[in-house]
């Protein structure tokens, strides 16, 4: 059986080392604040970096190939979604080159997210 990227049952998920579904992102899609392509890119970035641990503004590096090889997003969609997410203030990035991967920083305020979930 393949381990899911995210799991609905938070307690069982923690026991097994899985991560909860990013409900904050789902709400953004439902409010039409982000598109499904942008949601998919954020979902991939969270999974690649294990960002459900409240690390503030950590910087990480990924190549476009690493993100596209998940099969969930094409290179054209990646470029458009990345540019759009930066414009909305959800991520920041510095493009890499053939010698260096792209530098990403996720700008979502997790303290605000956890406060919103506990209400």
Tell me the domains of the chain and their CATH numbers: 6-118 (1.10.10.10)
Task: Look at the chain and count its residues.
Answer: 119
Per the listing, tokens 């904050």 go with 24
pLDDT value at residue 55: 56
Residue range 3-56, pLDDT digits in tens? 444 444 444 444 554 444 556 667 777 777 788 888 888 888 877 766 555 555
The token pair that represents 47 in the structure block: 């999974």
**What's the CA gap between 32 and 26, in Å, rounded?**
10
Contact predicate 47/33, CB 8 Å: no
The Cα-based distances of 22 to 8, 47, 74, 84, 117 in angstroms read 9, 10, 22, 19, 11
Per residue in 68-105, pLDDT (tens digit) is 888 888 999 999 999 999 998 888 999 988 888 999 88
pTM across the whole model: 0.67
CA distances to 2, 23, 28, 34 from 88, in Å: 34, 18, 12, 9
Q: Is the pLDDT of residue 117 over 70?
A: no
- Residues 59 and 22: their CA atoms lie apart, in Å, by 20
């Amino acid at each position: 059986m393949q381990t899911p990227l995210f799991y609905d049952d938070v307690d069982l998920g923690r026991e097994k080392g899985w991560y909860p579904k990013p409900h904050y992102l789902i709400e953004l899609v439902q409010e039409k604040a982000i598109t499904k392509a942008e949601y998919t890119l954020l979902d991939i970035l969270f999974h690649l970096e294990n960002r459900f641990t409240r690390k503030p503004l950590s910087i990480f590096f990924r190549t476009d190939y690493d993100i596209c090889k998940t099969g969930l997003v094409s290179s054209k969609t990646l470029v458009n979604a990345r540019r759009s997410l930066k414009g909305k203030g959800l991520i920041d990035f510095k493009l890499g080159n053939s010698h260096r991967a792209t530098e990403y920083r996720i700008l979502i305020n997790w303290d605000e997210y956890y406060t919103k979930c506990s209400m």
